[in-house]
Amino acid sequence: MTGLGILLAHLAGDYLLQSHWMATEKSKRWWPAWAHALTYGLPFLLITQSPAALAVIVGTHAVIDRYRLARHLVWAKNQIAPRRFRQPWAECSATGYPAETPPWLAVWLMIIADNALHLLINAAAVTWL
């Protein structure tokens, strides 16, 4: 149940509880990022009562979303490719993917990477803290 609980808490916090204001402003200013992170953390109260786990879940969520760190993760993993497939950060900074990637695909792949990053951190926090 814990794995399913973590997934459901993530989906509720990141999609159902996030307002349009939070979604559009969280990468620009800290206040919306923290407002989103705190509301994101609410469903996790049903999963864990560990203050350390909740702090990691909320704190990392704020930082990841504020700086859109998933795009950095995507760009970094794409640097594993042969040199001719690597792109400089300046050409990939929007999503982590090069400009020739269809925009809809680049955005969705970045969102998937963002979700995976949050889920991995949340699972680790709930399991070990």
Among 28, 110, 115, CA closest to 67: 28
Q: What is the band of 1 on the pLDDT scale with cuts at 50, 70, 90? A: low
pTM: 0.93
Domain segments of the chain as ranges: 2-128
Residues 107, 118: Cα–Cα separation, whole Å = 17
User: What was the pLDDT predicted at 15?
Assistant: 97
For residues 85-106, give the mean pLDDT.
95
> What are the tokens at 84?
């001719």
Mean pLDDT of the chain: 96
- Give residue-wise pLDDT tens across range 46-76: 999 999 999 999 999 999 999 999 999 999 9
C-alpha dist (Å) from residue 115 to 6, 15, 86, 110, 119: 12, 11, 24, 9, 6
